[in-house]
Every structure is written in structure tokens, then in C-alpha cells.
Amino acid sequence: MDQQLLQQLQKLRGQNTLIVGIGNTLKGDDGAGPLICQMLQRSQIGAEVIDAGTVPENYIQVIVKKAPANLLVIDAMDFGATAGMIELFKPEQLSSTVSSTHTLSPRLFVDMLSRQIAVDVFFIGIQPAQTQLGQSISVLVKQAMQRLLRILTDIFPPKSESFNPPRKSV
């Protein structure tokens, strides 16, 4: 399954991509999107990253100004799979069968963006096990987050600093 996700995301390698995490870290697995973004920021991944929390609509103008070619939105989504499964969706695939926990539907978020810039949008959904207030991330979703972190770090390797070997003294 992860190999399939890696293959689907390969085409984004080297492209101007913005990664946005959506979710509520106070509601168990719903915090997966923001927590992955925090991990990606620490690893200095080769893509821009925004933790939008529960209000992605507040970042629409920021995204428009950055004008990425691709937008990857990471969110805990109920798509009827086993907890911890990761699935890639295009916006048109998001329907009544995929539910999000946010006030602004993911589809409306994309529509608002698409009116202002041309951007390819992909949703990375992680199937939650628990999303009640006060719960922590489940083991299965933690494992999924680690797998996704490895995949995204592979696709967008950290920006390398220029290497200057030490000079030999004469």
C-alpha cells in the first residue's frame, strides 16, 4: 500500500509543492495532519509546509501568494478503511463517502483556492481510529504518520547545504 502511495506521489518530486496539514490535535487521530507537518518542518523537508490546524480557510491567501504547482493536504479522513490506512484522493473523489471533521469541507476549500490560482490538489487521507476530544493519537495512526513521513521525506528530500570540505594546511 505504501509503495503505491510512493509511486503516486513520485511525479511531484522536484516540483514546487506546498504541504498543508489539517486537523485538531486535541481530538486523537484528527491531529495527524498538523503533527505530520510539525515533523516535516523539523526535518527541513524540500517542500514548504503549513500547519493549518482546524482553519484551512485562514490560509487560502497565504497559499495563493505562494502559488505552488501542487498542494498536498494531509488530513484524518473517514473513508471506511482500516485504521491507519493512507489513501491519496483527488478533490473530485471527495464525496459523501469521505468525511472530514472540519467546518469547511475539503471540497469547498479546494474550490475557493481554484478560483484564484491554478494548482493541482491532492488529499492524503489517514483513516482515524478515534477522534474524540481529549484522546491521544492511536498506535495505528502513529505508525501511519511515520510511514507517511518517510515517503514525503523521500519525495522531497531535505534541502542540502553546500558542502565545503576542510582545507589541508600546508
Query: Is residue 163 scored above 50 in pLDDT?
Result: no
Q: How confident is the model at residue 100 (pLDDT cuts 50, 70, 90)?
A: low
Q: Position of cell 498543508?
A: 20
Contacts of 143 (CB under 8 A, 6+ apart): 84
Three-state DSSP at 147 gives helix
Q: How confident is the model at residue 86 (pLDDT cuts 50, 70, 90)?
A: very high
User: What type of residue sits at position 110?
Assistant: V
**Cα distances (Å, whole numbers) of residue 148 to 85, 141, 153:** 10, 10, 8
Query: Is residue 2 scored above 50 in pLDDT?
Result: yes
- pLDDT tens across 27-38, in order? 999 999 999 999
Q: What is the pLDDT of residue 162?
A: 41
Q: Is the pTM of this model over 0.85?
A: yes
Query: Is residue 108 scored above 50 in pLDDT?
Result: yes
